[in-house]
């Protein structure tokens, strides 16, 4: 029996939301496998491989694999004043809009927006210390996700790494000795946001390092903007007690601070360099800046996030809305789902931030591992498996998605 034509088989898949070339590809794969009946399955595989929405029921607020900080943002289909000065009618700077807002939030003299925090660190080192020594504590030579390491980032920037201190104890005197011996251009402090060293430890503070001489660059990574937490109803939560903030780090004397925008800041993937105006100007003129500059979509999303901070409206930033939701509200929602067993559980920030910190939450537990069935739902639900049970933490689920979660659970079991 002859197999159906590719054209006929692909047309039979027209109810699947994919453009014709991808339906043709699914048909060809099925025919080449001598299994024309699998064409629909192949088409669904192609659709599910595309970037699309999922429900994060893991309890990890900044899940790196799920896009870190979720965004509530839409871009209208019209032109913007990205690089146009509406006052003078002349060309403007794409860096001015949101950078000015970051300065208001952090107290920085100036700021610069780039693609991510790694780009921010590379740009600072390349612009201010190429072919010159930079002192870093051995306890801060961190590796972030994907195998990227601070020594490798420094090497790519052209700066020379000078290791000081030991893994667990680094003193101001270590930086002073390095500066005397090597005439260091910068002192780089890297906040170990994805691990903790405890016990017999010591580190030099930003304030203490100001006495050494070279500018102090503080890479905070996670993007906690201000210890005061004016945007939160109940102020600073206990799980942020040890997290350094951008505003206070600059006040303590850091020349520049670098941080991510898609972690504790709660915005899109981007990186910020904030601090001294003269140093920011040097970074802005470096050739790498053109390669690292973000586009209008990222800048507008970041601007919306910054404006929410200035309005002290933490609930309009999805990350902070999730973080502020009371356990009582989560328990009520768990009961209302009517499927599974309501339980108390623990959430965490994730995204390489606040290692080991957890806070109370609530959700649903299902006996056995049904995580694959949940992923196969029309709107995929991502849960976690614990002790041969599947746990769905509602802290990371938007209330409007509760019905979809209940439907996915009912189908899964």
CATH of the domain at 179: 3.40.640.10
257 and 405 within one domain: no
Which of 39-48, 169-178, 189-198, 333-342 shows the lowest per-residue confidence on average (mean pLDDT)?
Answer: 189-198
Nearest-10 crossing angle of helices 20-32, 39-48: 130
Of 283, 299, 316, the residue at which a domain comes to its end is 316
Of 260, 289, 316, the residue at which a domain comes to its end is 316
167 and 255 within one domain: yes
Would you say residue 200 has pLDDT above 80? Answer: no
209 and 62 within one domain: no
- Residue 281 maps to a domain: yes
Domain residue limits at 358: 55-67+325-412
- Residue 5 maps to a domain: no
Q: What is the pLDDT of residue 241?
A: 87
Q: What is the pLDDT of residue 194?
A: 63
What pLDDT, in 10s, does the model give residues 116-159? 999 999 999 999 999 999 999 998 887 766 666 888 888 889 99
Helices (H) and strands (E) counted in the chain, each on its own, are 16, 13
Q: How many CB atoms lie within 10 A of CB 209?
A: 23
291 and 143 within one domain: yes
284 and 176 within one domain: yes
- Residue 209 maps to a domain: yes
304 and 358 within one domain: no
Would you say residue 195 has pLDDT above 70? Answer: no
Residues 6+ positions from 365 with CB-CB distance below 8 Å: 340, 341, 342, 343, 389, 390, 391, 392
250 and 137 within one domain: yes
Which residue in 29, 42, 41 sits closest to 3, CA to CA?
A: 29
What pLDDT, in 10s, does the model give residues 276-288? 999 999 999 999 9
- Residue 390 maps to a domain: yes
């Amino acid at each position: 029996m002859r197999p159906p034509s590719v054209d006929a088989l692909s047309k039979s898949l027209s109810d699947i939301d994919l453009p014709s070339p991808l339906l043709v590809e699914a048909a060809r794969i099925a025919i080449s496998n001598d299994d024309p009946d699998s064409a629909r399955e192949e088409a669904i595989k192609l659709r599910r491989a595309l970037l699309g929405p999922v429900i994060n029921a893991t309890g990890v607020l900044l899940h790196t694999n799920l896009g870190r900080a979720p965004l509530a943002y839409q871009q209208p289909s019209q032109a913007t004043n990205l690089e146009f000065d509406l006052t003078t009618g002349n060309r403007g700077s794409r860096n001015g809009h949101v950078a000015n807002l970051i300065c208001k939030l952090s107290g920085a003299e100036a700021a610069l927006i780039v693609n991510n925090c790694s780009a921010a660190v590379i740009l600072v080192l390349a612009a201010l210390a190429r072919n010159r020594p930079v002192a870093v504590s051995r306890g801060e030579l961190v590796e972030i996700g994907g195998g990227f390491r601070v020594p490798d980032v420094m090497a790519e920037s052209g700066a020379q790494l000078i290791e000081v201190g030991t893994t667990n104890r680094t003193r101001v005197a270590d930086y002073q000795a390095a500066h005397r011996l090597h005439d260091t251009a910068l002192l780089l402090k890297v906040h170990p946001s994805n691990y903790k060293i405890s016990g017999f430890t010591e580190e030099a503070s930003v304030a203490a390092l100001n006495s050494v001489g070279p500018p102090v660059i503080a890479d905070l990574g996670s993007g906690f903007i201000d210890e005061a937490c004016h945007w939160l109803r109940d102020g600073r939560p206990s799980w942020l007690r040890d997290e350094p903030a951008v505003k206070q780090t600059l006040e303590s004397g850091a020349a520049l601070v670098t941080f991510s925008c898609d972690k504790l800041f709660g915005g899109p993937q981007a990186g910020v360099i904030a601090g001294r105006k003269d140093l920011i100007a040097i970074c802005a003129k470096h050739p790498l800046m053109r390669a690292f500059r973000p586009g209008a979509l990222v800048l507008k999303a970041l601007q919306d996030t910054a404006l929410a901070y200035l309005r002290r409206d933490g609930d309009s930033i999805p990350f902070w809305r999730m973080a502020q939701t009371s356990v009582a509200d989560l328990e009520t929602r768990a009961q209302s789902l009517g499927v599974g067993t309501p339980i108390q559980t623990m959430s965490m920030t994730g995204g390489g931030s606040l290692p080991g910190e957890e806070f109370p939450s609530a959700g649903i537990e299902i006996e056995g591992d049904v995580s694959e069935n949940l992923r196969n739902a029309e709107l995929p639900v991502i849960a976690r498996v614990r002790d041969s049970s599947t746990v769905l933490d509602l802290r990371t689920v938007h209330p409007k998605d509760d019905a979809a979660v209940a439907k996915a659970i009912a189908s899964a079991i």
